[in-house]
Amino acid sequence: MLKKSNHLRTLLTLLLIVVPLLVCSCAPKEGSVAEEKEQPESIGIISAMDNEVKLLLSEADIDHVDTIGGVDFHVGTLCGQPVVITRSGIGKVLSASAVTAMLNQYRISNVIFTGIAGGVGDDTEVLDEVIATRLVQHDYGTMNNDGFEWSDGNTGESVGEEGYYYCDDELVDLAYDAATEIIGEEHVFKGTIATGDQFVASEEYVETLQDNFDAIACEMEGASIAAVCTQYETPFVVIRAMSDKADGNAHESYDNMGDIAADNSSRIVIHILKSIK
């Protein structure tokens, strides 16, 4: 009987140790796939600067803010739609980093990049709106003894065809319709946006962007957002209000019109969200 009693005590001790371990191992861990599946599918909204997200954040009902890599991701609803809104910072590196973090952390159905840009097209004027149909990195290439030679960068499946990244057709149509409602059809254009890590304020370079890429606007983030979204197979669109003409007066025009242009793009995003069912 003594041996049998010892065996029972040993068995009970093992059960007391093993069962809690099994329960803990089966429970969903923080950040696990099980937990992520409970997240709502959200629309990702990204801008480069504070004034480009100011209006959106003031209109949104923010539930909480996650800080990832020093970037704040505002999680909540806007116009009844679940959204994640962030300010990435200026340039291709920071914008690519922010959208990558967003797509890894949240369940994002599509991405809207909104903000301001320089008008490159002959027909575009300050405060006009450009909805990107495609984007290209105008500063991607090789610098040799003869100067800069652009390359399409076609080195893998993640790179857009012939160096271009194409926006989602449905999102382009939604953005165009929203923009025409907000500022009028005569002030809304669809076409190519050229992206590079430079603030363009040169008539000569404007002609280069027109001739080489058929661009009608230039800025510093759109193509990097497009490249990452293409890798992640996430639909996207880039919406830009013209703050300047990318010419010798670009800095002055940007200072005077930047905030107005940024708010116009934000109003278009709000109109898009109201249109999505």
Active-site positions read: 52, 244
Q: Of 259, 261, 211, which is closest to residue 239 (Cα–Cα)?
A: 261
The dihedral through the CA atoms of 216, 247, 177, 186 has a sign that is: negative
What is the b/e burial string over 84-110, where b = at least 16 CB atoms within 10 angstroms of the residue's CB?
Answer: bbbbbbbbbebbbbbbbbbbebbebeb
DSSP 114: E
* CA pair distance 76, 60, nearest whole angstrom: 7
* E strand segments, the chain: 42-47, 61-68, 71-78, 81-87, 108-119, 129-137, 141-144, 147-150, 164-166, 188-195, 215-219, 236-244
